[in-house]
Amino acid sequence: MFTALQIRERMKEQPFKPFRICMSDGRTFDVTNHDMAFVQRNTVRVGIDLDSNSFAERYAECAIMHITSIDDIPTAQAA
């Protein structure tokens, strides 16, 4: 089980390390830079469907209680 504080600390790491949020329903969301996610008390909003300038077209709202793991993404895959 993760907390909002743990996720926020992961977002603040320097240098930033890309990571993947894995949900209990099997969905995954890649966070490739610190601007792609917004941590709230009970949810994380992750930008998805990035355009050619890496702006999110939409976002996914991830309930923290349903996050099963947060895994590193190798740098070559994150680019």
- Is the CB of residue 25 less than 8 Å from the CB of residue 66? yes
* The pLDDT of residue 24 is above 70: yes
Is residue 79 scored above 70 in pLDDT?
no
Tell me, yes or no, if the pTM score tops 0.75: yes
Residue 77 has pLDDT above 70, yes or no: no
Contacts of 58 (CB under 8 A, 6+ apart): 47, 48, 49
Taking Cα atoms as reference points, which of 41, 32, 33, 35 lies closest to residue 7? 41
Q: What pLDDT is attached to residue 78? A: 56
Instruction: Give, in words, the CATH class of 4-78.
Output: mainly beta
What pLDDT, on the 0 to 100 scale, is given for residue 48?
95
Q: What is the pLDDT of residues 26-68, one digit of tens each?
A: 999 999 999 999 999 999 999 999 899 888 999 999 999 999 9
Classified as helix, coil or strand, 45 is strand
